[in-house]
Structure 1
């Protein structure tokens, strides 16, 4: 793919490990239970692979110089860095949850400050305590971060929960970016073999969470909310026709003002779908201005060559450069 490069190449899906967060939760009631649930959801074979996989990638997850060298190899100019979803700790009580989020926000900001022209960051908020979400979002923004990363749900709270309304309002008011990135799938042991917990679980959780946002009318009430759905939004964008059919056919599916597919053009999606034909369909369904380059750096379920994956979709030059960086630049690099 040739042509002008008016904007930097921007990867909006890249992660960071923060040892200080794990030190803060170690030994607390609930931590062992959460680890046990994670083990049941993933199964022993996945856990045997995950430890060495993450261990080998610790330098890229913690050392800015190593990160920048890897970005250079990939042809990525700028990363939007978010904490590893393993740092959510949605089991934590209010006091510990606030500490976790403040440490994550400050740690991410400090990491990005070592290369401010190439790294921007997202922090965390405690979805399990909706009453703290606005305060911790403000804290993230005060650190110079672009917004926060959230999971697909928290225990007892779907994203359609009315208790999140103040959070959506504050995010919309401030222009904060929200990266929707699931961690763990509630199908639990049904997915505990062959890494189905990730390959099936992650796109399922994306689809469920986005459906809660759409059908609840949250995007009607907050039309300027800036949500980036990781993993291309999971199954929803390519199977949205079933949601549209339900909206027309059933009165109980009329929680939103318009056809569900119309809301795809109010959301953003990363390009990490692992299939050029799916990526083309995502661009068709959401619009070329709503898809952003994403790699899941540096984990093994990501792409080591996000630009190559984008090229393989054979998009038009305009769409290619929009996804490569122009869309993210418009979203993230405004003064």
Structure 2
């Protein structure tokens, strides 16, 4: 192992976890004028996801249980994306922001989303310095969204803002329309608020058949990747150079190729006189100061959920300072409770200085975690640096670990310890 003068254990911060309130908890966070409306609505509400039921569901809102789970998994702090269903929503808000049937319905959903944000403030306050909650917004009313971002920053939600997608058919203004969204970008930059784009909300609505769901699974990340291009061509990254963007649970391997692809088009649009690319794109390209790959290096980060070994091999192309590992707790595909093995599988034989950045340091810098304050906890529960450096033997992969993509595609016959 290369010379390492750091602590014996890594300080692991998961940049991709999920949580939310139990549905009845949200009532206290709604305006009193909506309590009767909520009581009527909740009577007909049925939990749409099995993993939100029973003991599994409690992982989203039981603070003590959640803390134990994460520490047992070697994780000392987390960035929390939404997971449960807010009041008046038909399903989880992370993956579905459908246009409302009427303005009243839309307004109710907005109040439900704000209730979630206020719940999140209290949930993060229960463990000071160990949770960075993300504020949810809707893009149907930009002024209201901006006010919510300001409120969240003042209230202590250090995870930044969750940027919804603008899929075709949603009726929302596309993200490449800079003039429309400029007030939001300006506000986030002034407040130092990261803009997070999680996979799920950018895809068009899926059908109910199993084939529909398979298509959704195979395309959902691709739809999310498009936001990177849209934010570049809009001029947003050029005009707001201090604004930071995070692309989470979308994989890592797509980034180098996408940067190369876009750089190719930028070169064609900028210099290939007489080409179709030049005719359509030279005005745009000549108005910008950087290539797409340079915008990535300056302003973008990847929430590298359950990163695979092959993706870690691309860390120099992505940027070692751009990668933020995540466990995706408590989702079915999460590395929990096998995160120690997942980290060893992915980061073995890699310089511990680089690993320390990717598994905690980068997230701490972006989201404002205090590494010194977390160090005593990490000294008790964090993965051993020496252990992570060793290759993980196939026979040491725990039974059931292949639910997590980090363990998928390993060469040879997979054997697991009981």
**Same fold, TM exceeding 0.5?**
yes
Q: Which has the higher helix share?
A: 1
Which residues in structure 2 correspond to 1:119-138 (within 5 Å)?
A: 119-138=131-150
Which residues in structure 2 correspond to 1:160-175 (within 5 Å)?
A: 160-162=176-178, 163-175=180-192
Displacement of 1:236 after TM fit? 4.0
Distance verdict in 2 for CA 1:83–1:318, change over 3 Å = same
Distance verdict in 2 for CA 1:223–1:318, change over 3 Å = same
Residue 322 of structure 2 corresponds to residue 290 of structure 1 = yes
What SS is found at the alignment partner of 1:107? helix
Distance verdict in 2 for CA 1:284–1:128, change over 3 Å = farther
Contact 2:256 2:317 in 1 (8 A): yes
What does residue 55 of structure 1 align with?
53
Displacement of 1:150 after TM fit? 2.0
What SS is found at the alignment partner of 2:249? helix
Q: Deviations over 1:86-145 (max 9, x none)?
A: 225453546335413321211101111111132221111112322322111012112210
What does residue 223 of structure 1 align with?
241
Q: Deviations over 1:14-61 (max 9, x none)?
A: 111232698779999xx9xxx9xxxxxxxxxxx9xx722343531111
What does residue 118 of structure 1 align with?
130
Q: Answer with 287-296 or 94-103: which moved more.
A: 94-103
Distance verdict in 2 for CA 1:136–1:279, change over 3 Å = same
Residue 99 of structure 2 corresponds to residue 91 of structure 1 = yes
What does residue 374 of structure 2 align with?
none
Q: How big is the alpha-carbon RMSD for the aligned residues of Structure 1 and Structure 2?
A: 3.3
What does residue 204 of structure 1 align with?
222
Q: TM-score, normalised by structure 1?
A: 0.82
What does residue 269 of structure 1 align with?
302
Contact 2:189 2:243 in 1 (8 A): yes
Distance verdict in 2 for CA 1:233–1:136, change over 3 Å = farther
Distance verdict in 2 for CA 1:270–1:132, change over 3 Å = same
What does residue 40 of structure 1 align with?
none
* Inter-partner Cα distance in structure 1 for 2:129 and 2:93: 25
* Inter-partner Cα distance in structure 1 for 2:126 and 2:116: 16
Contact 2:199 2:250 in 1 (8 A): no
Q: TM-score, normalised by structure 2?
A: 0.67
User: Which residue of 317, 320, 323 maps to 2:355?
Assistant: 320
Contact 1:124 1:148 in 2 (8 A): yes
The count of aligned residue pairs is 316
Gaps of at least 5 residues in structure 2 are 85-91, 269-276, 371-418
Distance verdict in 2 for CA 1:7–1:136, change over 3 Å = farther
User: Which residue of 185, 200, 211 maps to 1:193?
Assistant: 211
Contact 1:177 1:226 in 2 (8 A): yes
What does residue 39 of structure 1 align with?
none
What does residue 14 of structure 2 align with?
11
Larger radius of gyration: 2
User: Which residue of 168, 172, 175 maps to 1:159?
Assistant: 175
Contact 1:270 1:293 in 2 (8 A): yes
What does residue 397 of structure 2 align with?
none
* Inter-partner Cα distance in structure 2 for 1:284 and 1:215: 25
What SS is found at the alignment partner of 1:296? coil
What does residue 199 of structure 2 align with?
182
Contact 1:210 1:233 in 2 (8 A): no
What SS is found at the alignment partner of 1:81? strand
* Inter-partner Cα distance in structure 1 for 2:312 and 2:223: 19
Distance verdict in 2 for CA 1:10–1:97, change over 3 Å = same
Displacement of 1:285 after TM fit? 2.3
